[in-house]
Amino acid sequence: MVKKTLLSLAIAATAAGLAGCNISSVQDHDKVDQTAVDAGSGDAQPAVVAPVFNPARSQLPLATDFLLSGTTDGTLVYPDGDVDIFLADGSRNPEYNPVYDAMSDMDGFSTVGQLYIPFSGSLSEGELPAGSVYLVELDYGEAGPKVPDPQINEADPFGGEAAIKAEVVSYADGNLNNSVVRISPTEPLKNNTRYLVVLTNAITDVDGDATVMGSQFKYLIGDDDLLSAALAPVREAVQDWYQLAQGFLVSQGASPSSVTTAYTFTTGGTVEVLSAMAAPGNADAALASTVPAVLQHYLNTTEDDAATQSATVGAILSGAGSSATAAEVIGGHALLSTLPAPSPRASNFPALSATVPVDTSMILDGAASSFITGTIDLPYYSQAPSGAYVDDGINLGDDEHYTCSAETASDAATCAAATLSAANTVIGQWATDADVIENLQLAQGADAADAAEVAAPSENVTNLFPFAQENGKVRTQVLVVEPGGSCAKPGSGWPVVMLAHGITGNRMQNIVLAEQLAAAPNCYASVAIDLPMHGLMPTDMITSGVLGGAPFSGAVPLMAAVNQSAGGIAVTDGGATPGTADSFVELDAATQSLIISGQTVSQRHFGLTADASGALPEAVDGDIDGGEGTAADQSGSLYIDFLHFQTTRDNNRQAVMDLLNLNATIPFMDIDGDGNGGPANTDPDFDASRIYFAGISLGSIIGTQFVAVNNTSAVPANPAGNPALNRVQAAVFSVPGGGLPKLLENSATFGPTIVGALENPDSFNLTQGGSSYESLMYVYQATVDSADPMNFGGLMQLSQTPYTLIESVGDTVIPNSVADAPLAGTDPLISVFAAEQVESGSTIGAGDQVFVKLSDDLSSHSSFAVPDTDANTPETAATFGVLVQHAISRFNGSPALNDGGAGIIEAIPAE
């Protein structure tokens, strides 16, 4: 049975009965007010300066365990967050606040975000000296603090000190004379861990005088009569915190009387959800499946009758020398397949013909490979619009789905509801499969009362209940690039590289890299899908290859070539039958538009793009510039969501699950129509033992998590893992980063747009660097912690995956580092992953985990995606060539790195 410590129904209250301390709201609930108590008036400096800590007036640091008081499901108690985004008529609810909404779903506080503690006056600016601020792990034993009645180790309650940078700053809004102490972790905090914050009088005010304990904190640790009985649990908590702080200082040889304030906060989960989803045995060994992947594929994708299933499974088991019976395997699979674990999914590819696959040279100059487009039915845990699921009973050919119009729908109300469902893409979030574990227990004869104890405590998918509800299957297009020329497919199938594109990109942007990987003598096939809410747009035109030149001259949509590769009409008949409409380019405009429209709604973005506000979806209209009142169509424009933070987190989670399911399915994809040797898969098109990964930008942000989770959840390395997962043998991660909210804010490419939206008086109306702004950033980071690669460094190291991480010095999309946020960017991710720097000519072991720094002048964010042929930039195609050759050598198991003395690879700094 799943451990009750994992699925506990409550976190013990730090201050039982205390109502959640509100963060005051302002007009339209768009700000989070965390302003310190004004001391005096105007510019007056108080006689003494103290940390602000007043529970009675809700003037507290944002991250305190007060907000976990009274929780029933392990998430923060924040009633103002339980507000719907939209009203019944589809209009925006003025009472909705995305910060409050996210807080009410958090299962603890951030492992990466920065803590802000306001003071009642001005402090000496700059970094604080040692002995001023401590952040200390508390020891609650193996059970941890997130269980009913947690027990601290009273004999030795203190764990290690967290690595932090503590400094004095001022908010950009509010009373600028009142300083704030900012505590920035320089290494991610431990997940599901309680930390003690201690401030001392070594912090001095602007005049150099020691700060003091605030009057409210002193009142709460004292014995004076309380003004209200409601403060009794608060006093108990604060007294406990103060005693812990004193004890810690004594253990450090410091004076216990130097404490000015102390409190605790508990971090949330990080890797648990994706790890448990990847392999339920990671949550509880009793949930581990032992059904081989080949049998999972057969049972998942066929509708044979019971007798045929039994005979087929029995034959496969016998051929494998297994002692298991068909009944045991079929029964076990039926039970455990209700869990959301990756498994070989149904895939389909068009029949080979004179026009399928498509020669890559049609869209890329000089290419020798070919490409084909198939589909895979992926479990979708996020929310899709009405009509987007496989077999959901809604026919996209009828005018009743989310792109319908009331003028032509048979039922205007039905059309309106379906259209409104498009908003699911920006307001939806993962919800627990509430009864899945309970039902498993009941199916195995458990008592109903015992089984009920493992029901989900709420709809929130957290480390307390890490299993999401599948909403349906989404049929997703799959690009396969197959080697050509002198390459011959091995008997075990092609070695294959999984490719992942960047934000606002699509799977076809991998075609240049895929062509290089396919070239002889290396002959790697490539497989790619779009990340969630991404895909091709009607405005993506072919600008290279046969179709990119005369007489087409960039006028042929890329979707037309994709449509051909999926078994549709050929783009051109090569002039074989002039004057007949037997090719796309010869069709009338209306028929071409129908084909492109069909392709558009088949993309992962569902035919939706961000509207002019940047927050809500509207239908793709094929306008490259955006018409009046509309925005230009853009892939991925709805991926990062500031209207509903949880959507961004779950887009990342969904992307990881997609790659896990794709990984499990690749060995069973039949791209040549030969049946792969029957149910036993004896003649595969892809080699399950030679799967690799390469990603760029967002593809690497997702890819680092995918590889870390996949390779720590695959068997036999993990006996409780998922037998359907195939080990990724090696990986290349180009220009990833972590600490996502601060990374985005400080991106030269995306930052201005994001900051502009947050400062817009008609939306959030915040001030960058202000108290409410920084509170939003903290809550956003806490929300995405479980899908931020910064928290997956330990898993990556545990996975022992050979990889190369690429950084472009001076990257304008993903910053190398952020001065005011030590855990944002690429550099801190490298540090968390403990990768070793290499340079041109370095000796690199086959199993090494390394990183490369590319020269600022001779590289860019897209250096690994396409060769730079722009004569106006110092970078040349040589950078792409160096990186591709290194990637191929990495996948071949003999990694080499050599720029020929061109200075493309930065030298390792002298120690």
Q: Could you tell me whether strands 115-118 and 164-169 are parallel, antiparallel, or unpaired per DSSP bridges?
A: unpaired
Q: What is the pLDDT of residue 678?
A: 92
Query: Which token pair is 198?
Result: 């201690």
What are the b/e assignments for 795-815, b being 16+ CB within 10 Å? bbbebebbbbbbbbeebebbb
Residue 548 CB neighbours (<10 A): 19
Q: Could you tell me whether strands 472-482 and 525-529 are parallel, antiparallel, or unpaired per DSSP bridges?
A: antiparallel
**End of a domain among 248, 269, 290?**
269
Q: What is the pLDDT of residue 25?
A: 29
Task: From residue 790, give the alpha-carbon distance in Å to each of 138, 547, 793, 838.
Answer: 22, 42, 6, 21
Using alpha carbons only, what angle is made at residue 283 by residues 282 and 285, rounded to the nearest 5 degrees? 70
- At 413 the three-state DSSP class reads helix
User: Are the CB atoms for 610 and 617 separated by under 8 Å?
Assistant: yes
Extract the residue ranges of the chain whose pLDDT is less than 50. Answer: 1-42
Domain residues for 854? 477-892
DSSP per residue over 418-438, as a string?
A: HHHGGGHHHH----B-TTHHH
User: Are the CB atoms for 811 and 861 separated by under 8 Å?
Assistant: yes
pLDDT, one tens digit per residue, over 295-334 is 999 999 999 999 999 999 999 999 999 999 999 999 999 9
Q: What is the pLDDT of residue 621?
A: 87
DSSP category for residue 465: B
Residue 25 lies in a domain: no
**End of a domain among 207, 241, 269?**
269
Residue 85 lies in a domain: no
- Least Cα distance to 554 among 568, 540, 536, 572 occurs for 540
Q: Is 135 left (phi over 0), alpha (psi -120 to 50) or beta?
A: beta
Q: Is 526 left (phi over 0), alpha (psi -120 to 50) or beta?
A: beta
Query: Which token pair is 617?
Result: 């979806």
As a whole number of angstroms, the distance between CA 544 and CA 553 comes to 9
User: Are the CB atoms for 188 and 112 separated by under 8 Å?
Assistant: yes
Q: What is the pLDDT of residue 576?
A: 58
- Maximal C-alpha separation, the chain: 98
As a whole number of angstroms, the distance between CA 721 and CA 342 comes to 11
As a whole number of angstroms, the distance between CA 632 and CA 638 comes to 13
Peptide linkage before 828 cis (omega within 30 of 0) = no
Give me the torsion for CA of 329, 332, 334, 339, rounded to 10°. Answer: -130
Residue 881 lies in a domain: yes
Q: What is the pLDDT of residue 530?
A: 99
Residue 441 lies in a domain: no
As a whole number of angstroms, the distance between CA 793 and CA 185 comes to 15
As a whole number of angstroms, the distance between CA 215 and CA 201 comes to 14
Task: From residue 689, give the alpha-carbon distance in Å to each of 71, 497, 656, 729.
Answer: 46, 12, 20, 8
Residue 191 lies in a domain: yes
Instruction: Report the predicted TM-score, pTM, of the whole model to 2 decimal places.
Output: 0.94
**End of a domain among 269, 298, 323?**
269
Using alpha carbons only, what angle is made at residue 524 by residues 529 and 728, rounded to the nearest 5 degrees? 65
Domain count, the chain: 2
423: Cβ contacts below 8 Å, ≥ 6 apart: 85, 86, 90, 616, 617
- How far is residue 232 CA from its own chain's centroid? 41
659: Cβ contacts below 8 Å, ≥ 6 apart: 498, 500, 529, 702, 703, 706, 710
DSSP category for residue 289: -
- Least Cα distance to 749 among 810, 820, 704 occurs for 810
Residue 415 lies in a domain: no
As a whole number of angstroms, the distance between CA 333 and CA 310 comes to 13
pLDDT, one tens digit per residue, over 763-819 is 899 999 999 999 999 999 999 999 999 999 999 999 999 999 999 999 999 999 999
User: Are the CB atoms for 203 and 135 separated by under 8 Å?
Assistant: no
Query: Which token pair is 638?
Result: 């709805």
Query: Which token pair is 576?
Result: 């074989």
- At 440 the three-state DSSP class reads helix
Mean pLDDT of the chain: 91
Residue 335 lies in a domain: no
Q: Could you tell me whether strands 126-127 and 164-169 are parallel, antiparallel, or unpaired per DSSP bridges?
A: antiparallel
Q: What is the pLDDT of residue 3?
A: 33
- At 195 the three-state DSSP class reads strand
Query: Which token pair is 397?
Result: 């050919």
- At 115 the three-state DSSP class reads strand
Peptide linkage before 741 cis (omega within 30 of 0) = no
Q: What is the pLDDT of residue 688?
A: 98
Three-class SS string for 746-799? CCCCCHHHHHHHHHCCCCCCCCCCCHHHHHHHHHHHHHHHHHCHHHCHHHHHHH
User: Are the CB atoms for 643 and 427 separated by under 8 Å?
Assistant: yes
Residue 439 CB neighbours (<10 A): 17
DSSP category for residue 734: E
CATH code where residue 546 lies: 3.40.50.1820
Polymer length of the chain: 911
Residue with tokens 């930065």: 906
